[in-house]
């Protein structure tokens, strides 16, 4: 018997149905990440701190004034979540409450009124239920959920907006990386930084991703998939990869960068730590220097590296470049710890492995 959460909702939002579903046009066998969207979306507006009635409507363009704050100063925040299909056809939303908590923290950091928890939860549950035929029936695929809030006041002065809109859009996705679960290659980019203490590196906000695009393009042009960010002060400690937190198997211990304020507190990161501890592994959250990893790769004590994220799930890393030096990992194959985590987490997602702690909301 799976240990899951009950799914009763306290609000039921009115629905404007799409005239004709786009689903039959979608090639579910060849899904990539993020370029297909399901039929409906949710919208709720907030003015002077008061939330209006929300509604579900057909997925489509949204209108706002060209002077809206989000377009100029980026006052907004978002989440990345997933819903999965169980073998018996049920649908599971993974760790919805943890995502809400992170979303609320991001909103607070951006001075955005926090979307009430029941609005977040009930809108997502109702929307996923309505578009449940869009949840892929495949172990390697999911319905990606993107809740986001934007500041919409028409005003060019730099000040917090008085009006906001919260949306939820969804879409079926395959692997985040074109490599699938084959190990990816990373490079550090010591001339650029992602975040500084006191900034917004631990919040899920648009600017963090926008600022990463140029260095990521340089990395891609040089043959890597992503940038492995180093800390901004000493350019020495490994932080994260924009779409993932990082884990390393070093001296038989599972290590990951401590949440120093510049790293996104990943929900999958938390899942990995909780599972590894449950399995009796030694887990350390601490500063990890790039030199320590280079040394570990030379003397054979660094045996695996992988990233964790909602979009990326568990993505093995086969090679890391840093200033002309190479960190080669497990002959560029997925290692045993990454594989066990991948199988367990995707097993929980799809209901083949027991939910250890009420992480699944089955609808
Ligand atoms: C996620 O993992 O859901 C994210 O939001 C990362 C994003 C870069 C796709």
Task: State how far the Cα of 326 lies from the Cα of 318, in Å rounded to an integer.
Answer: 10
pLDDT tens digits along 125-156: 999 999 999 999 998 999 999 999 999 999 99
Q: What are phi and psi for residue 137, nearest 5 degrees?
A: -100, 65
Q: State residue 1's pLDDT score.
A: 32
**Which is the closest atom of ligand 1 to the Cα of 204?**
5
pLDDT tens digits along 175-207: 998 877 789 999 999 999 999 999 999 999 999
Domain match, 197 and 137 both: no
User: 309 CA distance to ligand 1 centroid (A)?
Assistant: 7
Residue 341 belongs to a domain: no
What is the three-class DSSP state of 215? helix
Task: Choose the residue to mutate in 95, 147, 310 for probing ligand 1, maximizing ligand atoms within 8 Å of C-beta.
Answer: 310
Domain match, 215 and 164 both: no
pLDDT at 341 over 60: yes
User: 311 CA distance to ligand 1 centroid (A)?
Assistant: 5
Question: What is the chain's mean pLDDT, rounded?
Answer: 95
- The pLDDT > 70 percentage for the chain reads 97
For ligand 1, whether the C-beta of 310 sits within 6 Å is yes
- The pLDDT > 90 percentage for the chain reads 92
Domain match, 150 and 203 both: no
Residue 16 belongs to a domain: no
Contact 206, 224 (CB under 8 A): no
Domain match, 193 and 169 both: no
User: 209 CA distance to ligand 1 centroid (A)?
Assistant: 10
Mean pLDDT in residue range 305-333: 94
Which residue puts its alpha carbon closest to atom 7 of ligand 1? 243
pLDDT at 60 over 60: yes
Q: Please give the structure tokens belonging to residue 214.
A: 């140029």
For ligand 1, whether the C-beta of 38 sits within 6 Å is no
Which residue puts its alpha carbon closest to atom 5 of ligand 1? 80
Contact 226, 246 (CB under 8 A): no
Task: State how far the Cα of 89 lies from the Cα of 84, in Å rounded to an integer.
Answer: 10
Q: Please give the structure tokens belonging to residue 290.
A: 């790039």
The closest of 163, 165, 229, 171 to 201, measured between CA atoms, is: 229
Instruction: State the CATH number of the domain containing residue 165.
Output: 3.30.470.10
Residue 344 belongs to a domain: no
pLDDT at 8 over 60: no
Task: State how far the Cα of 94 lies from the Cα of 178, in Å rounded to an integer.
Answer: 23
Q: Report CA dihedral (202, 96, 149, 115) to the nearest 10 degrees.
A: -100
Task: State how far the Cα of 265 lies from the Cα of 80, in Å rounded to an integer.
Answer: 12
The domain in which residue 276 lies consists of 184-332
**Which is the closest atom of ligand 1 to the Cα of 244?**
2
Contact 144, 173 (CB under 8 A): yes
Domain match, 105 and 220 both: no
Return the DSSP state at 117: H
User: 80 CA distance to ligand 1 centroid (A)?
Assistant: 5
Which residue puts its alpha carbon closest to atom 3 of ligand 1? 80
For ligand 1, whether the C-beta of 313 sits within 6 Å is no
Q: Is 89 exposed, middle or buried (0-12, 13-18, 19+ CB in 10 A)?
A: exposed
String of b and e for 184-218 (b: at least 16 CB within 10 Å)?
A: bbbbbbeebbbbeeebbbbbbbbebeeebeebbee
Least confident span in 4-18, 134-148, 199-213, 340-354? 4-18
Question: Per DSSP, what are the bridge partners of residue 247?
Answer: 256, 306
Residue matched to tokens 């799809």: 350
Domain match, 266 and 160 both: no
Q: State residue 330's pLDDT score.
A: 84
pLDDT top residue among 3 and 63: 63
User: 305 CA distance to ligand 1 centroid (A)?
Assistant: 19
Residue 14 belongs to a domain: no
Residue 151 belongs to a domain: yes
Domain match, 197 and 127 both: no
Gap between the terminal Cα atoms of the chain: 16
pLDDT tens digits along 67-124: 999 999 999 999 999 999 998 999 999 999 999 999 999 999 999 999 999 999 999 9
Task: Choose the residue to mutate in 78, 148, 175, 176 for probing ligand 1, maximizing ligand atoms within 8 Å of C-beta.
Answer: 176
User: 157 CA distance to ligand 1 centroid (A)?
Assistant: 30
**Which is the closest atom of ligand 1 to the Cα of 82?**
3
Task: State how far the Cα of 325 lies from the Cα of 171, in Å rounded to an integer.
Answer: 39
DSSP H helices, 131-226, are: 206-210, 213-221
Least confident span in 5-14, 33-42, 46-55, 345-354? 5-14
The closest of 201, 205, 229 to 215, measured between CA atoms, is: 229
Residue 84 belongs to a domain: yes
**Which is the closest atom of ligand 1 to the Cα of 144?**
3
Domain match, 128 and 37 both: yes
For ligand 1, whether the C-beta of 174 sits within 6 Å is no
DSSP H helices, 53-182, are: 69-73, 96-109, 117-130
pLDDT tens digits along 276-295: 999 999 999 999 999 999 99
Residue 10 belongs to a domain: no
Least confident span in 52-66, 71-85, 323-337? 323-337
Domain match, 163 and 239 both: no
Domain match, 327 and 357 both: no
The closest of 196, 203, 200 to 106, measured between CA atoms, is: 203
**Which is the closest atom of ligand 1 to the Cα of 242?**
8
Domain match, 328 and 354 both: no
The domain total for the chain is 2
Residue 5 belongs to a domain: no
User: 313 CA distance to ligand 1 centroid (A)?
Assistant: 10
Domain match, 162 and 205 both: no
Mean pLDDT in residue range 261-274: 98
pLDDT at 2 over 50: no
Task: Choose the residue to mutate in 32, 212, 243 for probing ligand 1, maximizing ligand atoms within 8 Å of C-beta.
Answer: 243
Query: How many other CB atoms sit within 10 Å of the CB of residue 19?
Result: 6
Instruction: State the CATH number of the domain containing residue 269.
Output: 3.20.10.10
User: 20 CA distance to ligand 1 centroid (A)?
Assistant: 29
Least confident span in 5-19, 200-214, 224-238? 5-19
Task: State how far the Cα of 119 lies from the Cα of 125, in Å rounded to an integer.
Answer: 10
């Amino acid at each position: 018997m799976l240990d899951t959460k009950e799914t009763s909702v306290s609000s039921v939002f009115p629905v404007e149905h799409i005239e004709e579903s786009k689903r039959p046009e979608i090639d579910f066998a060849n899904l990539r990440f993020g370029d297909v969207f399901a039929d409906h979306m949710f919208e709720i507006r907030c003015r002077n701190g008061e939330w209006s009635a929300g509604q579900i409507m057909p997925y489509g363009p949204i209108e706002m004034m060209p002077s809206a704050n989000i377009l100029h100063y980026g006052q907004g925040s978002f989440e990345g979540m997933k819903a999965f299909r169980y073998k018996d056809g049920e649908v599971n939303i993974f760790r919805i409450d943890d995502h809400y908590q992170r979303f609320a923290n991001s909103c607070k950091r951006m001075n955005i009124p926090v979307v009430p928890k029941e609005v977040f939860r009930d809108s997502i549950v109702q929307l996923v239920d309505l578009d449940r035929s869009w949840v892929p029936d495949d172990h390697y695929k999911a319905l990606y959920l993107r809740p986001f809030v934007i500041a919409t006041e028409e005003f060019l002065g730099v000040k917090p907006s008085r009006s906001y809109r919260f949306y939820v859009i969804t879409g079926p996705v395959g692997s985040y990386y074109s490599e699938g679960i084959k190990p990816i290659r990373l490079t550090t980019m010591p001339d650029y930084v992602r975040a500084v203490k006191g900034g917004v590196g631990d919040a899920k906000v648009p600017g963090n991703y926008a600022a990463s695009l140029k260095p990521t393009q340089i990395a891609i042009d040089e043959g890597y998939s992503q940038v492995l960010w180093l800390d901004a002060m000493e350019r020495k400690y490994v932080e994260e990869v924009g779409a993932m937190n990082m884990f390393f198997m070093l001296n038989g211990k599972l290590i990951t960068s401590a949440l120093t304020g510049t790293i996104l507190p990943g929900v999958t990161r938390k899942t990995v730590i909780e599972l590894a501890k449950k399995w009796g592994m030694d887990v350390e959250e601490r500063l990890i220097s790039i030199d320590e990893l280079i040394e570990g790769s030379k003397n054979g004590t660094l045996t695996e590296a992988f990233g964790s994220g909602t979009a990326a799930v568990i993505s093995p890393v086969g090679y890391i470049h840093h200033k002309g030096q190479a960190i080669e990992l497990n002959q560029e194959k997925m290692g045993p710890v990454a594989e066990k985590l991948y199988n367990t987490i995707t097993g929980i997602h799809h209901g083949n492995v027991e939910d250890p702690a009420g992480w699944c909301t089955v609808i």
